Amino acid sequence: DAGVTQSPTHLIKTRGQQVTLRCSPKSGHDTVSWYQQALGQGPQFIFQYYEEEERQRGNFPDRFSGHQFPNYSSELNVNALLLGDSALYLCASSFPPLNAEAFFGQGTRLTVV
C-alpha cells in the first residue's frame, strides 16, 4: 500500500514565478491537507480539501491556492513567489476529514532565489 506521495522532492524557483506541487493521498483517504514548514518551525496549516472543495483554510494569502481531483489527489499552487516562501511543503491525507490522524508525505523542498 503506497503511502502519501509528493512530487517533486526538490524545486528551485525564481522570485515572481509560479509553482505547482502535487500530492497523492494514501489509499482509501479522501481528505488532503497542505502545510508549510520553515526551518526550525512546526508545520503551518495552509488548507484542507475534501470532496474537491476547500474545506478549511489557514492564514495564508490568496497567492496560495489548491485543487483536489476526483481521484482525491491534490495540487498546491503558489503564485508570485517570494523568498519567504522557501520551505518544506508537506501534504497529509486522512479519513474521515476531521478529528483523525493524518499521514504525511515526504514533502517538497522549495527554494526561491
Q: Which residues bind another protein (CB under 8 A)?
A: 4, 33, 35, 40-45, 48, 56, 58, 88, 90, 92, 94, 98-107
Residues 19, 78: contact at Cβ < 8 Å?
Answer: yes
Which three cell numbers, joined as nine digits, stand for 49? 480539501
Q: 4 or 81, CB closer to another protein? A: 4
* CA gap 19, 84 in Å, rounded: 14
CB of 109 to another protein, least distance (A): 8
Closest distance to another protein from the beta carbon of 1 (Å): 15
